[in-house]
């Protein structure tokens, strides 16, 4: 039903409701008037009695009714008597010796009959029948609407964007220059199809855009339609899947029928993996509704005539689960990969999304691009929006670099939880943990420079250390991985050196280190003992859309060697981080104490503090240890003298770092 029809139906309903309400009010008001029906003789007797008492009454003749109002008060009672057309009121008054010419005795009035009260009375008599008829009419229209919805249930729900109002062009898309050059062929074909037909060239019927979420697959598809000036049908793959058999296939047929009527045009399937997954992998077998929908898509894409300029563009981030018949030439002839942008692409994206935003002169988009490696186009747009919201919240008229930095932290780790209450001990442990990361990263040659260290709680983290990559990396070497592992274990080692125990704050670091070390052994061939062998095959089930498990294609002896190599790589990384922090213990304490005071240290300030001359006596012992039970700060230079909190028991040498001492005593 159209919007105009819905408005007309709503207006009719409210008009009918208002009419019924007015009618009920009028009838109730009339029923509440004190009117008494009597005979003519009774009415005349009452009139004569009132005249004898000197009371002035009003006698009104109107519409076959004689009305006697007894008195002049507002609440005076009334009596009515029915009369016929031949009734002569003056004669009756004379017969009853009532002087109707004297207004001090009686006021005689004649009223012209009003048709309104007659109609209202008639309407009141027929009101129940009218309400019943209206109710039946509404029920009938509702039934017709249900039938219409049933008929349109199999129609396509694709949204049509008109070509005469192009909202997106290639100027609105940045960071994917190669992809725009690839799609320029599609634009030229839609604009000048005869140029290709003369040469016998056939433009690809289908174009599959592959890339991580947020890289602009939908945006660049709309840009193609905007550049070519053709209609653009957009629909999600999940909108074809319904619980009723045949609905998805019916919607596919209707969609392509609409596309042929708007020839030339573009049909865009967003998240096509929702309906285009490999057949035979579902739990429903050949009777799966999703497979019927996919079969109809395959038939429709093969049914295009050579003269039909309809191009299908689909987007997915899981091309590995798509059906091979969907990817063959003649359907989706070409795949275009949209990867996350590099630093030049991020600068271009920031320039596009910063249009219309008031930026201060101190804002450097290049610095922001360097600080956001791995950000997609959607992430960068969200970053600028967060910065604008922060500036508005702070009542500023322009966006500064401070808001940009805070927006990056918000996107990466979440908003700051300044209201979170933590003890001084936990705050100190977090500070030493984060400085441990930063100091190890500063001392290693293959790690990126330290950009920020903070112990302000954000999201699920109590603090974070951010490095600023000097370049975008696509390849990683073994030394880079080894130093990355040492950097990740720096916080764990710092806790052991200062407090003699570890906390749960390093759990995420240990998980990440274990995953990277195992990948170095089983995937990247970076173990001299195992060699360049790929071990372990991941089972990916198409209908689940994720890794279901790992198939062990190696023996128990090899599994033991993998575990030993993984442990060795992690142990060497920990020993490297531990030795760096132990040799720079005074600097570790000095930087951590400053972080406890300031809560956040930026990269330049960290470098300045790192290069300051050290005072061995002043920064020999952390201030937090003075408030810990069982700890003697004056004698805390040797780990064997560390006491467990709340007891006088010394830590066993087997539990003291480095872990290599304990490892040498164990039998593998």
Q: What residues does 335 pair with on adjacent strands?
A: 208
Phi, then psi, of 267 in degrees rounded to 5: -110, 120
DSSP state of 153: T
Residue extents of the structural domains in the chain: 33-113, 159-337, 343-412, 424-665
pLDDT given for residue 127 in this prediction:
66
- Spacing of C-alpha 21 from chain mean position: 45
pLDDT at 306 over 50: yes
Instruction: Find the range with the poorest average confidence among 118-127, 200-209, 259-268, 496-505.
Output: 118-127
Kind of pairing between the strands at 106-111 and 57-62: parallel
pLDDT given for residue 569 in this prediction:
95
DSSP one-letter string for 325-392:
HHHSTTTEEEEEE-PPP-HHHHHHHHHHHTTTS-B-TT--HHHHHHH-TT--HHHHHHHHHHHHHHHH
Closest CA to 38 of 4, 10, 9, 67: 67
Instruction: Find the range with the poorest average confidence among 215-224, 380-389, 497-506, 608-617.
Output: 608-617
Greatest CA span in the chain, whole angstroms? 139
CB 578 within 8 A of CB 493: yes
Residues classed as catalytic: 434
Q: How confident is the model at residue 566 (pLDDT cuts 50, 70, 90)?
A: very high
pLDDT given for residue 385 in this prediction:
92
Closest CA to 234 of 187, 272, 266, 189: 266
Highest mean pLDDT among 354-358, 548-552, 611-615: 354-358
Q: How many CB atoms are located within 10 Å of the residue 431 CB?
A: 29
CB 438 within 8 A of CB 431: no
Instruction: Find the range with the poorest average confidence among 146-160, 177-191, 432-446.
Output: 146-160
pLDDT at 512 over 90: yes
Distance (Å, rounded) from C-alpha 581 to C-alpha 437? 10
pLDDT given for residue 634 in this prediction:
44
Distance (Å, rounded) from C-alpha 578 to C-alpha 22? 88
pLDDT at 236 over 90: no
Q: What residues does 107 pair with on adjacent strands?
A: 58
pLDDT given for residue 629 in this prediction:
42
Q: How many CB atoms are located within 10 Å of the residue 495 CB?
A: 21
Distance (Å, rounded) from C-alpha 485 to C-alpha 577? 9
Phi, then psi, of 414 in degrees rounded to 5: 105, 170
Of residues 233 and 478, which shows the higher confidence score?
478
CB 377 within 8 A of CB 175: yes
pLDDT at 648 over 70: no
Instruction: Find the range with the poorest average confidence among 388-392, 430-434, 629-633.
Output: 629-633
- Spacing of C-alpha 426 from chain mean position: 34
pLDDT at 335 over 50: yes
Closest CA to 668 of 582, 536, 561, 523: 561
Q: If you average pLDDT over residues 268-296, what whole number do you get?
A: 72
pLDDT at 518 over 50: yes
Domain 159-337's class? alpha beta
Kind of pairing between the strands at 78-82 and 65-69: antiparallel
Query: What's the CATH number for 343-412?
Result: 1.10.8.60
pLDDT given for residue 643 in this prediction:
34
Closest CA to 346 of 317, 366, 322: 366
Q: How confident is the model at residue 652 (pLDDT cuts 50, 70, 90)?
A: very low
Identical topology for domains 343-412 and 424-665: no
Of residues 363 and 418, which shows the higher confidence score?
363
**Residue 2 parent element (H or E):** none
Q: What is the rounded average pLDDT for all residues in the chain?
A: 76
Q: How confident is the model at residue 462 (pLDDT cuts 50, 70, 90)?
A: confident
pLDDT at 641 over 50: no
Instruction: Find the range with the poorest average confidence among 326-335, 559-568, 628-637.
Output: 628-637
Domain 424-665's class? mainly alpha
CB 279 within 8 A of CB 175: no
Q: What residues does 332 pair with on adjacent strands?
A: 206
CB 460 within 8 A of CB 612: no
Q: 395, exposed or middle or buried, with CB in 10 Å at 0-12, 13-18, 19+? A: exposed
pLDDT in tens, 20-66: 676 666 655 555 555 677 777 787 887 777 777 777 777 777 766 77
pLDDT given for residue 436 in this prediction:
94
Whether the link from the prior residue into 264 is cis, omega within 30° of 0, is: yes
Sign of CA dihedral 584, 590, 594, 595: positive
pLDDT at 242 over 70: no
pLDDT at 183 over 90: no
Instruction: Find the range with the poorest average confidence among 47-61, 355-369, 507-521, 540-554.
Output: 540-554
pLDDT given for residue 374 in this prediction:
83
For 139, 170, 284, 349, 351, the CA distances from 177, given in Å and listed in that order, are 58, 9, 43, 11, 15
Distance (Å, rounded) from C-alpha 417 to C-alpha 366? 29
Query: What's the CATH number for 33-113?
Result: 3.30.720.210
pLDDT given for residue 640 in this prediction:
37
pLDDT at 320 over 90: no
Q: How many CB atoms are located within 10 Å of the residue 129 CB?
A: 9
Distance (Å, rounded) from C-alpha 663 to C-alpha 668? 9
pLDDT in tens, 67-125: 777 777 766 777 777 777 677 777 777 777 777 776 766 777 666 655 665 666 666 66
pLDDT given for residue 285 in this prediction:
46
């Amino acid at each position: 039903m159209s919007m105009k029809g819905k408005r007309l139906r709503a207006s009719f309903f409210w008009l009918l409701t208002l009419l019924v309400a007015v009618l009920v009010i009028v009838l109730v008001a009339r029923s509440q008037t004190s009117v008494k029906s009597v005979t003519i003789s009774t009415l005349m007797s009452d009139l004569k009695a009132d005249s004898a008492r000197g009371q002035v009454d009003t006698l009104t003749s109107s519409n076959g009714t004689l009305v006697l109002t007894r008195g002049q008060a507002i609440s005076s009672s009334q009596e009515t008597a029915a009369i016929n057309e031949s009734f002569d009121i003056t004669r009756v008054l004379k017969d009853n010796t009532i002087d109707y010419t004297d207004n001090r005795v009686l006021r005689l009035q004649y009223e012209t009959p009003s048709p309104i009260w007659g109609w209202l009375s008639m309407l009141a008599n027929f009101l129940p029948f009218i309400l019943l008829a209206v109710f039946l009419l509404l029920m009938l229209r509702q039934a017709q609407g249900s039938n219409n919805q049933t008929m349109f249930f199999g129609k396509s729900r694709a949204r049509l964007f008109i070509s005469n109002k192009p909202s997106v062009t290639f100027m609105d898309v940045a960071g994917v220059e190669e992809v725009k050059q690839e799609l320029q062929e599609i634009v030229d074909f839609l604009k000048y199809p005869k140029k290709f037909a003369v040469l016998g060239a056939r433009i690809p019927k289908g174009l599959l855009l592959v890339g991580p979420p947020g890289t602009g697959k939908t945006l660049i598809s709309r840009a193609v339609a905007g550049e070519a000036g053709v209609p653009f049908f957009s629909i999600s793959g999940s909108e074809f899947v319904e619980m009723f058999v045949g609905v998805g296939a019916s919607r596919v047929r209707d969609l392509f029928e609409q596309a042929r009527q708007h020839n030339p045009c573009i049909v865009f399937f967003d998240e096509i993996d929702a309906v285009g997954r490999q057949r035979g992998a579902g739990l429903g077998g050949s009777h799966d509704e999703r497979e019927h929908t996919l079969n109809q898509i395959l038939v429709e894409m093969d049914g295009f005539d050579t003269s039909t300029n309809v191009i299908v563009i689909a987007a997915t981030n899981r091309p590995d689960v798509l059906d091979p018949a969907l990817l063959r030439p003649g359907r989706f002839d070409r795949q275009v990969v949209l990867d996350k942008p590099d630093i030049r692409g991020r600068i271009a994206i920031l320039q596009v999304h910063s249009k219309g935003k008031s930026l201060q002169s101190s804002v450097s988009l290049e610095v922001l691009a360097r600080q956001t490696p791995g950000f997609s186009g959607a992430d960068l747009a969200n970053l600028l929006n967060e910065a604008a919201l922060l500036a508005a919240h702070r009542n500023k008229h322009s966006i500064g670099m401070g808001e940009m930095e805070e927006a990056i932290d918000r996107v990466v780790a979440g908003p700051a939880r300044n209201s979170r209450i933590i003890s001084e001990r936990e705050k100190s442990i977090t500070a030493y943990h984060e400085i441990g990361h930063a100091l190890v990263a500063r001392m290693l040659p293959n790690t990126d420079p330290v950009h920020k260290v903070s112990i302000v709680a954000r999201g699920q983290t109590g603090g974070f250390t951010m490095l600023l990559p000097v370049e975008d990396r696509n390849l990683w070497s073994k030394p880079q991985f080894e130093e990355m592992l040492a950097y990740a274990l720096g916080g764990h080692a710092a806790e052991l050196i200062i407090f003699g125990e570890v906390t749960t704050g390093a759990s995420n670091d240990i998980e990440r280190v274990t995953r990277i070390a195992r990948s170095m052994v089983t995937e990247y061939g970076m173990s001299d003992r195992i060699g360049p062998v790929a071990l372990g095959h991941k089972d990916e089930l198409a209908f689940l859309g994720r890794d279901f498990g790992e198939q062990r294609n190696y023996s128990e002896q090899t599994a033991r060697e993998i575990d030993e190599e993984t442990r060795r790589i992690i142990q060497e990384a920990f020993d490297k981080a531990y030795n760096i922090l132990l040799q720079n213990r005074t600097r570790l304490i000095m930087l951590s104490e400053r972080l406890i005071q300031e809560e956040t240290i930026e990269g330049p300030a960290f470098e300045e503090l790192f290069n300051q001359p050290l005072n061995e006596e002043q920064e020999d012992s952390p201030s937090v240890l003075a408030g810990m039970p069982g700890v003697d700060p004056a004698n805390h230079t040797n780990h064997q003298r560390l006491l467990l909190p709340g007891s006088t028991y010394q830590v066993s040498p087997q539990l003291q770092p480095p872990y290599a001492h304990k490892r040498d005593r164990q039998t593998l």
